Amino acid sequence: MVPTAQTGTACARRIRRAASTIAASRGSQRSGPALLEASSNTQAAAPQAALRVKRLEERLAAQHTAVICAFNQLLDLKDLGTGLHSTRLAEWAVRVAGHLAQQDEALEEEWRRDLEVAALLHDIGKIGVPDHILNKDGPLTPEERAIIQKHSEYGWTILRNFPGMERTSLFVLHHHENYDGTGYPARLAEEEIPLGARIVAVVDSFDAMVSNRPYRAGLPVQEAMRRVEAAAGTQFDPRVAQCFLAIVQSELAEVQAATAPLDMR
Ligand SMILES: [Fe+2]
């Protein structure tokens, strides 16, 4: 699932410029016969300006998508095992957002696209964590744990530089905050945590529970659901957790098939 791109600041500026050109052309039409010729020239130029804006928008959208894909490939090259994990996360996050959007008009399409990208790239900051810590078999020391926990800030640092990714970068920054204020990096609580980050937190944790790792087998889906429910109100936003669990419950067979080890399919 490759997210579609959104209009960036530069493009918005161009759209405003084109809009003022069209408005000027309309103003000229009202200025009297002496300006009829100039007005007609401007009118002829308006569709061309609109076409130019459309092409610029398409180009910006393609660049935006290419950046997201490049980051995703970078994660795969780093062997973070994120390919399937991230794609599944993005699908679930968008489903949860779709359900919540039925009760909250503020979750418009652009917001949901930002969430989808955040779910895909939530662990991009792990690129900045040394491999010997990321791939360590045994338990982590407190120092190593502190370094790994930096990944959400690293992710924010990377993504916030891209026009149009400001909101996505905040979802990434806060995807390890806990609803009760005990998470990281900012120890935000409840509504202080951006909703997109609260959604990523639930789907990320669930997927981590059911995924197989070299050093342990994934949990059965039912057990992972029980743990999400138990952590609703402490680690997770209860509204998001209940919404996600309802989705999983309604598609139990598909979720079990999607999360089963490859050799069992
Ligand atoms: Fe993470």
CA of 221 to the centre of ligand 1 (A): 21
CA of 197 to the centre of ligand 1 (A): 11
Question: Which tokens is 184 given?
Answer: 């990281």
Is residue 4 scored above 60 in pLDDT? Answer: no
- Cα(159)–Cα(69) distance, integer angstroms: 13
Residues 141 and 23 in one domain: no
Residues 61 and 87 in one domain: no
CA of 176 to the centre of ligand 1 (A): 6
pLDDT in tens, 171-206: 999 999 999 999 999 999 999 999 999 999 999 999
Residues 71 and 90 in one domain: no
- Cα(88)–Cα(104) distance, integer angstroms: 24
* Chain centroid offset of residue 182 CA: 23
DSSP 3: P
- Cα(261)–Cα(259) distance, integer angstroms: 7
Residues 16 and 107 in one domain: no
Is residue 238 scored above 70 in pLDDT? Answer: yes
CA neighbor of 224 nearest in space, from 196, 203, 198 = 203
CA of 184 to the centre of ligand 1 (A): 10
Residues 93 and 151 in one domain: yes
Contacts of residue 113, Cβ cutoff 8 Å, sequence gap at least 6: 3, 4, 5, 6
Q: Where residue 39 falls among pLDDT bands split at 50, 70, 90?
A: low
Say what the pTM is.
Answer: 0.76
pLDDT in tens, 162-172: 888 999 999 99
Range of the domain at 53: 1-77
